[in-house]
Amino acid sequence: MTALFYTLGVLIFVVAILASIGLHEFGHLIPAKKFGGKVTQWFVGFGPTVFSRRIGETEYGVKAIPLGGYVKIVGMLPPGKGEETVVDENGETRVRQSNTGMFTQLISDARAAEWEHVKPEDSDRLFYKFKSWQKVVVMAGGPMVNIAIAFFLFWGVFATVGQVVDAKVEPVVAEVVPCIVPADQDGRACTAEELRDNPSPAAAAGLEPGDEFISFNGTPVTGWEQVQQAIRDNGDGTATIVVERDGEQLELQATTQVEPRPIDAASPEELTPVGFLGVMPVATPIYETGGPVYTIQQMGGMAVDTFQALAQLPAKVWDVAQAIVGLEPRDPNGPVSVVGGGRLAGEVASHETFPMQDKIVSLVMLIAGFNFFIGMFNFLPLLPLDGGHIAGAMWEALRRGFARLRGRPDPGYVDVARLLPVAYVVGAAMLVMGVVLIVGDLVVPLHLV
């Protein structure tokens, strides 16, 4: 049953992400057609075509490598200076090239490939001739669809279940740590040797889940923080602990042990030698619910966090590369690929102790989070991302606006083709980072626990 739920979780995540990709591309296609543009292709995936069907002038289909999607809008690149369009003997429009130099030839070749799709009757339907605001709407349509998907998924969770904003921690034992594990290896299972030779003080004293602390060294207990501080201050000393178990009070003797532990939640990497007992308290989550305004507020905070994460992405991917070759452990808060997202979805769905509601909420939040990241990532003002085209269209509008105010001639269309060398570098970097993350998610995957 666990394998079945794991597979189901992965399939739900994969189908949801593929659907999001398809809807993203419709976010470009629909306004482009609305403004009179010509869209010849809509595909989910890359590589060989698995299935396609032509409806009108547009071919819709699925390709073999499900790592993205695209729409082909005719006329994205205008003719450049020194180049002109001609109609050949077959009635097809081509760009006559007259360029030398590696980069100029690269740009010219891209224009030539672009104009192979242009027919004489398409002259008034070319994307580069759209009004600047229309270009912004078309290119922003894709990432805005992802953000809209994230909004409705987040809203659904926040309005019903809510999100955890705090926890009520009680002086009751939720879990007894069976052995002493170093802080930097927290979460791993105890070995048979550790269970035999190095049990935790709590396990050695006989503490059990459900025990409620009544007093510690003769001091009545008023809350978990008091117990935690008393344990830390006890060092290597013996402590008399009174707990209530099944309605009866028991007195237990425990010898705490000094261990390096994180004591500041804001700096979990900083370890301080303190007394250690080996118990986890009962923590009851406190939920906060809200409607659309609350959701927008939460997503505003997420946007700030996302842009901060994007600024650190190259360094984080480098850390993953080092983890792959065993130079350092993988950061549990680091980035993951779609493969890693699928694995986490499978673990959520197959987790034996998660209630069904928690599984559903976790999957929905995972899918929403991926959509939000995809949307925000595509708004980066770099080609080949949608944000690069948006930036070009906005610059075009500003340039033309300033020319009109100063009574100067129309400067014409912004030639985004001149930034193609940058686009190829950015695209190559994205490809490398994507491959590193995928390999990392296969070799050193992140897990729920």
Tell me, what CATH number does 282's domain have?
A: 2.30.42.10
153 with 247, same domain? Answer: no
**Are residues 266 and 343 both part of a single domain?**
no
Q: Would you state the pLDDT for residue 80?
A: 66
User: How many degrees, rounded to 5, is the angle at CA 384 between CA 378 and CA 390?
Assistant: 60
Whether 295 and 282 map to the same domain: the answer is no
User: Do 351 and 389 reside in the same domain of the chain?
Assistant: yes
What pLDDT shows up at residue 165? 86
Domain-embedded: residue 64: no
- In a domain, residue 369? The reply is yes
pLDDT of 93 reads 52
Q: Is residue 58 part of a domain?
A: no
Question: What pLDDT is attached to residue 92?
Answer: 52
Domain that holds residue 405: 1-38+74-78+126-162+291-449
Report the domain count for the chain. 2
d(CA 442, CA 193): 30
Residue 93 resides in a domain: no
The residue among 224, 255, 286 that closes a domain is 286
> Do 391 and 432 have their domain in common?
yes
The alpha carbon of 25 is separated from its chain's Cα centroid by a whole number of angstroms, namely: 19
SS3 449: coil
Hey, which residues are catalytic here?
25
DSSP, res 179:
B
Q: Within this chain, do residues 442 and 306 fall inside the same structural domain, yes or no?
A: yes
Of 247, 270, 286, which residue sits at a domain end? 286
Based on the domain organization, do 338 and 198 belong to the same domain? no
Residue 84 within a domain? no
Same domain flag for 346 and 428: yes
Same-domain pairing of 389 and 269: no
Q: Are residues 243 and 366 in the same domain?
A: no
Low-confidence ranges of the chain (pLDDT < 50): 87, 98, 100-101
Whether cis (ω within 30° of 0) applies to the bond prior to 384 is yes
29 within 8 A of 71, measured Cβ to Cβ: yes
Same-domain check for residues 20 and 142: yes
CB atoms within 10 A of CB 287: 11
Domain for residue 363, yes or no? yes
Q: Do 112 and 94 form a contact (C-beta atoms < 8 A)?
A: yes
> Both 204 and 223 in a single domain?
yes
In a domain? residue 303: yes
Instruction: Among 252, 270, 286, give the residue marking a domain's end.
Output: 286
**Domain-located, residue 101:** no
Residue 410 CB partners (closer than 8 Å, separation 6+): 400, 403, 404
